[in-house]
Amino acid sequence: MPENLRTLRRKREIVGEIQQITRAMKLVSAAKLKRSLSWREATQAYFEEIDRALGLVAGQVEGEIVHPLVTRRPVRRIGLLLCGGDKGLCGAFNASILAKARQFVRGSDVRVQTYTVGTRTAEMARRARLNVVREFPAISERQRGSDVQDIVRYMMHVFESGTVDRVEVCYARFLSRITNEPVIDRVLPAPLPEARVADRAVIFEPDVHELVQQLVPQHVTARIFQALLSSAASEHSARLMAMTAATENAEEMISDLTRDINRARQAEITSELLDVVSGGDALQRQG
């Protein structure tokens, strides 16, 4: 077999193996995206109820709500919670979030401390020369959000202790299965929902001031958890799109290589026929 034909067949075999891998990863990403979206939808009602309850309580409080997590003070240092993907092979997903974070840091007039979620996010943030002061492991679907409490407690602590005067979260907002948008939202001091007036008389137990002390931390937890869930769904969606494109590209490469193999084989047959004809002509001349 000619060297060129052997090489082309070996390339087609390798591309076929890669296509099997990308197709399998595509199916895995689709399953994870479906599970992530169902988890996100299941918790959406909780987030909405927290906002509604806090709005009703705020409508009953005379004056402004007093709580350490809503206290505004002069900003001398900002904490940036960076939520990216913990794995690769998801196209420009991580790069777009990191670019948004770098843009925020460069445009800030004060020092920014970065807190990362996920090992890969921490590595990318360090390569981008962001001031990473704390790394958190990526959230696990098996723990069903219990690992988010460590992140939330720490971010509340650095805000209440005065280590930072504002906390922003940078993540990919999930818009659809094919679209996500890198955004930065403020979580501390907590942006409270608009005060609401109940349609009928409401009895609060315990009193509204005690409810404020309980609802504000839950509101902050819900906002951070919502950002992490949106980022996870966006990551799976980006990887699904990337693996779909890779599978289609591999299929095109296999078609091109098959065509090249057929041409090479036809050229080989033509060359052998020419050798036979030339040999026959030579024998006739000798005879």
- For the stretch 243-285, pLDDT in tens is 999 999 999 999 988 888 888 888 777 777 776 767 666 667 7
Please state the domain extents for the chain. Answer: 27-242
Two tokens at 212? 């404020």
Identify the pLDDT of residue 169. 93
pLDDT tens per residue across span 19-36: 999 999 999 988 888 888
Q: Cα(193)–Cα(21) distance, rounded to whole angstroms?
A: 47
Reduce the DSSP state of residue 183 to 3 states and report it. strand
Identify the pLDDT of residue 202. 66
Residue 5's alpha-carbon distances to 252, 258, 264, 266, in angstroms, are 19, 10, 6, 11
Q: Is the pTM of this model over 0.85?
A: no
Low-confidence ranges of the chain (pLDDT < 70): 1-3, 61-63, 140-146, 195-205, 275, 277, 279-283, 287
What are residue 170's phi and psi, to 5 degrees? -105, 120
Q: Cα(91)–Cα(89) distance, rounded to whole angstroms?
A: 6
CB 43 within 8 A of CB 221: no
Identify the pLDDT of residue 184. 92
- Is the domain spanning 27-242 CATH 3.40.1380.10? The answer is yes
Two tokens at 82? 């960076």
Q: Cα(155)–Cα(263) distance, rounded to whole angstroms?
A: 64
Reduce the DSSP state of residue 257 to 3 states and report it. helix
Task: Order the strands of the 166-176 sheet from edge to edge.
Answer: 132-136, 111-117, 77-83, 166-176, 179-188
Helix then strand then coil, % of the chain, to nearest 5: 60, 15, 25
CB 166 within 8 A of CB 79: yes
CA 126 to the chain's CA centroid: 18
Q: Cα(16)–Cα(105) distance, rounded to whole angstroms?
A: 44
Q: Cα(106)–Cα(112) distance, rounded to whole angstroms?
A: 9
Rg (CA), the chain: 30
